[in-house]
Amino acid sequence: MLSLTMCFLFRSEMEVSDIVKSCNKHKIPIVPYGGSTSIEGHTLAPNGGVCIDMSSLKKVKSLHVKDMDVVVEPGIGWMELNDYLEPYGLFFPLDPGPGASIGGMCATRCSGSLAVRYGTMRDNVINLKVVLANGDVVKTGSRARKSAAGYDLTRLMIGSEGTLGVITEITLKLQKIPQYSVVAMCNFPTVKDAADVAIATMMSGIQVSRVELLDEVQVRAVNIANGKNFPELPTLMFEFIGTEAYSREQTHIVQKIAAEHNGTDFVFAEDAAAKRELWKVRKEALWACFAMEPTFEAMITDVCVPLSQLAELIAVSKKELDASRLVCTVIAHAGDGNFHTVILFDPNQEDQRLEAEKLNNFMVQTALKMEGTCTGEHGVGTGKVKYLEQELGIENLRTMKKIKAALDPNNIMNPGKLIPPHVCF
Amino acid sequence: MLSLTMCFLFRSEMEVSDIVKSCNKHKIPIVPYGGSTSIEGHTLAPNGGVCIDMSSLKKVKSLHVKDMDVVVEPGIGWMELNDYLEPYGLFFPLDPGPGASIGGMCATRCSGSLAVRYGTMRDNVINLKVVLANGDVVKTGSRARKSAAGYDLTRLMIGSEGTLGVITEITLKLQKIPQYSVVAMCNFPTVKDAADVAIATMMSGIQVSRVELLDEVQVRAVNIANGKNFPELPTLMFEFIGTEAYSREQTHIVQKIAAEHNGTDFVFAEDAAAKRELWKVRKEALWACFAMEPTFEAMITDVCVPLSQLAELIAVSKKELDASRLVCTVIAHAGDGNFHTVILFDPNQEDQRLEAEKLNNFMVQTALKMEGTCTGEHGVGTGKVKYLEQELGIENLRTMKKIKAALDPNNIMNPGKLIPPHVCF
């Protein structure tokens, strides 16, 4: 049933507005399309329709160095953008999968490993331009960094997954490239110890820029893939930024916290090449998994819980994962309580896919019981739509549906995504 | 025409839901009411109706120290909340007028002097419970710190000024009380120099927790009110936080930046009493103004521009203010580009009120020309409603109106506020 009627590459906002208006008139679904890295089915076309491919709209429209903001088209990738910004000493601090485009990152409210320090897409967008179902081009706000003027249409669009409008322009907050940074790594006997150190670090008031947790299976995957010899134990990786003195001071404070929680082999790097080498462990985690089972596919869970629950969530999940015959690795943005499992399965074996889905479901249910969310950063799409009522309640979904119907009465904008089909009002 | 029919003090969410449902049935306007500190007419009742007084709903429902969050009722004040949190080493980092309640702070998307470090109300709320016009009680999200699950109803409600729902519960992010802090003060020959230092400080990547600008008239007011002898010059005040070493390091870096921009008399305090004494200058700024004209009223502007424009905005505004026969002082949350003028006028002299309004309008128009906003933190209410179309465009206002109509078809929720009456769709 995945019949996609047409796919158009767009070159201007006006073209987008024209085709959306036309689709609205003829009640033809549209599916916005960017870097194609989303993993919850956002770009599927269950009812056919027109795919609005924004990948050639990738200009930097204006850079305001003194305002620390930049206006871009949606098709630009975050890595391309950072290459552009580097000579100005600035960067955009969100780092999802390498191919992700800024428009898609807005649409899915993405984040990544730096969210613990800089927030998610929600916190890093100043305003948007959006084409609505009726063809209206809406500017969601001024270029001031803060404003109390009107409904927060910027945030309403961020995370709406193309179901309310097509994003055609984004003004992003930028950050100064840190003067200095230190990368550190530490091993622990249990994932609970590692998670406890992440919590204690956050509670200490230290503003780490990254705190990532990998379980022993993930470290093994890295060793296999890269011919390394890291201790195959639960591991935390940190990045500390600031002045040289402050980066080092933070490192020593956290080293002490780690030691109090059974941490061993605390190492840190200040030299650029050594830092790059250490971070490769985390950056290439997903690809390292495939090195263990090169013909397999990966199902990646994404749940997020209040910080105090992270250790318990991982402990409970690990029991299920370790009991499964599938290879499962754990990666967490531990400072946010955001937890991923990479579950490898043979796509030709239906029972393995079912087993992966069962594990995924188990982790979502566990997170929901802990007042958490079914998705911390990947979005709802079609994959998580079944959990929304349990997480948010029917009154919330009814409200979403009313907003959707008000802005898109013909339900042409990415239909079938985000809002469960059974919701009425 | 300010006929307020009835005012009820509420004791539970259920009571709020019942009365809202009843008002909706009989099409009677409701006006939510909290700390009563808003200054743009949010709590006026131009069409009469029922005032929903939330000030007795002020419980802390649950504190989660390890998650660094707290669940409160809307009537609690931010200062009361901070008294409650202090023994736990935590605080809530928004500091508007002393009497403001958390519910009202959400409704107006407020911020304050710490927003440069911690963000505004938009960034510090995890979820809300809200009673909608039909009586539905909606929970806007889970208790996870980040989530990509569904439309951001939390942010839609924050800043909606009671026009979409009545906020009955708030889960707030908390911060660790800084281990150490330094307060610093520096004078400049011109406000432009002072504003330039604020910009250069932000561009340096230093994470100040406060950077406040006062003009020479404001300093004079403080001297008169408090019998002080501060140099009557444009002044910047800073707060630096972190470890002891890092707070001092930041102080010295900024001292150097200030010296490069004609800064003089850089002083800083580390002792608690000395810090309190210095901050009094800023904290009591508004009351100090009244010391100059005790029988007068104050009109307070609130505009916000991209950071690079702040110096020019203040310079242009100062020309008008200094040429006026009214006493006008300048206070800016300079790190955010957020600029206030306190314009003192005799409420018995209509021409003075008109002159104050003319100055206010001049500053809003100047900010809008600079891609800024007509309100950085005070909200729209009735006072700024006339500027919204110019700032946001009619397509934006139409979209707001559609959302409003979808959630409140009888227009009972704080009617006459935020959305200009002429907007149709």
User: CA end-to-end span of chain B, whole Å?
Assistant: 27
Whether B344 contacts B289, CB under 8 Å: yes
State how far the Cα of B296 lies from the Cα of B268, in Å rounded to an integer.
Answer: 34
Please give the pLDDT value at position A1.
Answer: 38
User: What is the DSSP annotation of B273-295?
Assistant: HHHHHHHHHHHTHHHHHHHHSTT
Chain centroid to CA A382: 16
Instruction: Give the integer Cα–Cα distance in Å for B198 and B216.
Output: 17
DSSP states along A43-105: T--TT--EEEE-TT---EEEEETTTTEEEE-TT-BHHHHHHHHGGGTEE-----STT-BHHHH
For the segment B312-322, the average pLDDT, to the nearest whole number, is: 93
Distance CA(B359)–CA(B298), nearest Å, equals: 12
Q: The tokens 């209410």 sit on which residue? A: B381
pLDDT digits (tens, 9 = 90+) for A134-170: 999 999 999 999 999 999 999 999 999 999 999 999 9
Q: What is the pLDDT of residue B207?
A: 87
CB A375 to CB B245 under 8 A?
no
- Residue B11: what pLDDT? 82
Q: Quote the ipTM score.
A: 0.96
Note the pLDDT of residue B284.
86
**Do B417 and B42 contact (CB within 8 A), yes or no?**
yes
CA distance B121 to B108: 9
Torsion angle, CA of A106/A109/A113/A115, rounded to 10 degrees?
100
Nearest CA in chain A to B133: A399
- CA atoms in the 13 A half-sphere facing the CB of A178: 23
With a cut of 80, say whether residue B4 has pLDDT above it: no
What phi and psi values does residue A127 have, to the nearest 5 degrees?
-160, 170
- Average confidence (pLDDT) over B339-364: 96
For an interface test with A, the pick among B71, B118, B142 (most A C-beta atoms closer than 10 Å) comes out as B142
Q: What angle do CA A151, B286, B39 make, to 5 degrees?
A: 30
Q: What does the alpha-carbon distance between residue B150 and residue A376 come to, in Å, rounded to a whole number?
A: 11
User: Cβ A391–B149 below 8 Å, yes or no?
Assistant: yes
- DSSP code at position B168: E
pLDDT at A47: 86
Output the six-digit token pair for A137. 């081009």
Round to whole Å and give the CA distance between B28 and B3: 13
Whether residue A365 lies within 8 A of chain B, CB to CB, comes out as: no
- Write phi, then psi, for B414 (nearest 5 degrees): 40, 55
What would the pLDDT profile of A378-407 be if each residue is shown by its tens digit? 999 999 999 999 999 999 999 999 999 999
Interface mutation target, options A146, A156, A388, chain B, most CBs of B under 10 Å: A146
> For B132, which residue in chain A has the nearest alpha carbon?
A399
Q: What percent of chain A has pLDDT over 70?
A: 99
CB-based contact, A208 to chain B, within 8 Å = no
Chain A nearest-CA distance from B218, in A, is 24
Query: pLDDT-derived band of residue B1, with 50, 70 and 90 as boundaries?
Result: very low
What is the Cα Rg of chain A in Å? 22
Residue B133 has pLDDT above 70, yes or no: yes
- Give the tokens for residue B389: 């179309």
User: Are residues A30 and A23 in contact, defined by beta-carbon separation less than 8 angstroms?
Assistant: yes
Residue among A209, A203, A254, A211 nearest B177 (CA): A203
Closest by CA to B340, choosing from B62, B20, B112, B87, is B112
Q: Is the pLDDT of residue A3 over 60?
A: no
SS3 letters across B27-59: CCCEEEECCCCCCCCCCCCCCCCEEEECCCCCC
Question: pLDDT tens digits for B232-290?
Answer: 999 999 999 999 999 999 999 999 999 999 999 999 999 999 999 899 888 888 889 98
The mean per-residue pLDDT over the stretch A240-248 comes to 96
In Å, how far is A245's CA from the nearest CA of chain B?
Answer: 8
| Among the ranges given (A76-80, A153-157, B41-45, B128-132), the one the predictor scored with the smallest mean pLDDT | B41-45
The nearest alpha carbon in chain A to B390 belongs to A142
Instruction: Give tens-digit pLDDT for B184-202.
Output: 999 999 999 999 999 999 9
Reading the block at residue B345, the tokens are 């006028």
Residues B13-26 have pLDDT tens digits of 999 999 999 999 99
Closest of B379, B285, B378 to residue B328, by C-alpha: B285
Instruction: Give me the mean pLDDT over the B62-83 stretch.
Output: 97
pLDDT attached to residue B283: 86
Inter-chain CB proximity B138 and A399 less than 8 Å? yes
Within an 8 Å CB–CB cutoff, is residue B406 touching chain A? yes
Q: Which residues of B touch A111 (CB under 8 A)?
A: 146, 148
Distance of CA A89 to the CA centre of its chain: 24
Pairing of strands A165-173, A180-187: unpaired
The span from the CA of A110 to the CA of A34, in Å, is 14
> Please, how many CA atoms are within 13 Å of residue A182, restricted to the half-sphere of its CB?
22
Tell whether A393 is within 8 A of chain B (Cβ): yes
Give dist(CA A354, CA B424) in Å, integer. Answer: 51
Dihedral of alpha carbons B272, B277, B282, B283, sign:
positive
CB atoms within 10 A of CB A390: 12
Nearest CB among A109, A178, A403 relative to B148 is that of: A109
Contact of B326 with B355, CB cutoff 8 Å: yes
Mean pLDDT of A286-307: 92
Given a contact cutoff of 8 angstroms between Cβ atoms, the answer to whether B69 and B409 are in contact is no
Q: What is the dihedral of CA B96, B98, B104, B105, to 10 degrees?
A: 20
Whether residue B291 contacts residue B342, with contact meaning beta carbons closer than 8 Å, is answered with no
Chain A, window 131-160: residues with a beta carbon less than 8 angstroms from a chain B beta carbon? 132, 136-153, 155-156, 158-160
Looking at every residue in chain B, the average pLDDT score rounds to 95
* Residue pairs between chains A and B whose CB atoms are closer than 8 Å: 296
> A44-53, A282-291, B8-17, B397-406 — which one is most confidently predicted on average?
B397-406
pLDDT at A9: 79
Other Cβ atoms within 10 Å of A409 Cβ, number = 12
* CA separation for the pair B139, A397 (Å, rounded): 10
Amino acid identity for residue B31 in this structure: V
Residue with tokens 């953008």: A81
DSSP state of B116: H
Helix (H) or strand (E) holding B219: helix B216-226
Reply yes or no on whether the pLDDT at A10 is more than 50: yes
Average model confidence (pLDDT) across chain A: 95
A272-283 vs A216-226: helix axis angle to the nearest 10?
A: 120
- Distance of alpha carbon A204 from alpha carbon B390, whole angstroms: 46
Tell if the CB–CB gap between A375 and B178 is shorter than 8 Å.
no
Supply B315's token pair. Answer: 């310079």
The pLDDT value recorded for residue B313 is 95
pLDDT(A175) > 70: yes
Q: Do A179 and B205 touch (CB under 8 A)?
A: yes
Tell me: pLDDT of A4 over 60.
no
So what's the pLDDT on residue A2? 42
Top CATH class, B6-176: alpha beta
- Cross-chain residue pair B384–A178, CB shorter than 8 Å: no
Pairwise CA distance, residues A112 & A121, whole Å: 9
More confident call, A5 vs A413:
A413
- Pinpoint the residues of chain B covered by CATH 3.40.462.40: 180-370
Q: What are the residue ranges of CATH 3.30.465.10 in chain B? A: 6-176
The whole-model pTM stands at 0.97
B292-308 in b/e form (b: 16+ CB < 10 A) is: beeebebbbbbbbbbbb
Assign a CATH topology to domain A180-370.
Vanillyl-alcohol Oxidase; Chain A, domain 3 (3.40.462)
A chain contacts of residue B380, beta-carbon cutoff 8 Å? 148-150
Q: How many CB atoms lie within 10 A of CB A41?
A: 17
Of residues B327 and B281, the one with the higher pLDDT is B327
Q: Average pLDDT for residues A70-81, to the nearest whole number?
A: 98
Token pair, residue A146, equals 């803060």
What is the CB neighbour count within 10 angstroms for residue A76? 25
